[in-house]
Amino acid sequence: MYVIGINGSPRKHGNTATLLEHSLKGAESEGATTELVHLYDLEYTGCTSCFACKTLGGKSYGRCAVKDGLTSLLKKIEQDADAIILGSPIYFGTDTGMMRSFLERLMFPYLTYTLPHGTLFPRKILTGFIYTMNIPENLVKEYGYTLHFATNENVLAGLFGHSEHLCAYDTYQFKDYSKVLCTMFDAKKKAERKKTVFPRDCKKAFFMGIRFAQKNPV
């Protein structure tokens, strides 16, 4: 079992990366081999709309033709990974730009323009998504986040066979809230959540990794 964690946050030691690390530790506890990739370490673009991946008989049919910092990762996912666990903070209601560009490159080559849609991905793997965000859980639907989560999950499941997600709400963002103009947040309550709630989120991520390694998704 080979599980790849993909960090779409610019922070290597922030909330998202921490949760991904716990998910991979969970997979490792079941004997899986794991790897954590930081997208902000790579140089790449989003989809260039060249349609080489859609051209019948072309050498890149069903594969992304762009050669850059994502090429080896995309190949590794297709050929070797048994599961991938994605992670991203929510910026303005969606994934980070780096994660969004990665998802374009990951998903579009396998999506067939047919009714119903099909997939060219050669096998089934497990996919999971870990989201971190500043807002509390009771505002997620009001802000339209649930639609975004569902869209990602539906596309990933359709292309790769399974997808699920985990959310960490109302996370602790700054090292020192007194140095930032952020009157909408209660620094003491944020610190308390970091102390009491975030460890529970880490456990949930850990158990996601265990289930993925066991090939026993929810």
Q: Could you list the pLDDT tens digit for every one of the 218 residues in the chain?
A: 999 999 999 999 999 999 999 999 999 999 999 999 999 999 999 999 999 999 999 999 999 999 999 999 999 999 999 999 999 999 999 999 999 999 999 999 999 999 999 999 999 999 999 999 999 999 999 999 999 999 999 999 999 999 999 999 999 999 999 999 999 999 999 999 999 999 999 999 999 999 999 998 88
pTM exceeds cut of 0.75 = yes
Angstrom distance (rounded) from CA 41 to CA 98:
10
Q: Look at residues 36, 19, 110, 47 and name the one whose alpha carbon lies nearest to residue 73.
A: 36
Q: What's the confidence (pLDDT) of residue 10?
A: 98
Give the Cβ contact number of residue 78 at 10 Å.
19
pLDDT for 79 equals: 97
CA atoms of 202 and 69, how far apart (whole Å): 29
What sign does the CA torsion over 191, 139, 163, 208 have? positive
CA dihedral 61, 108, 52, 35 (to 10 degrees): -70
Mention every residue, 6+ apart, whose C-beta is less than 8 A from residue 12.
38
The owner of tokens 């349609």 is 51
What's 2-213's CATH class? alpha beta
| Domain limits, the chain | 2-213
pLDDT at 218: 85
What distance in Å separates the CA atoms of residue 7 and residue 102, rounded to the nearest whole number?
A: 11
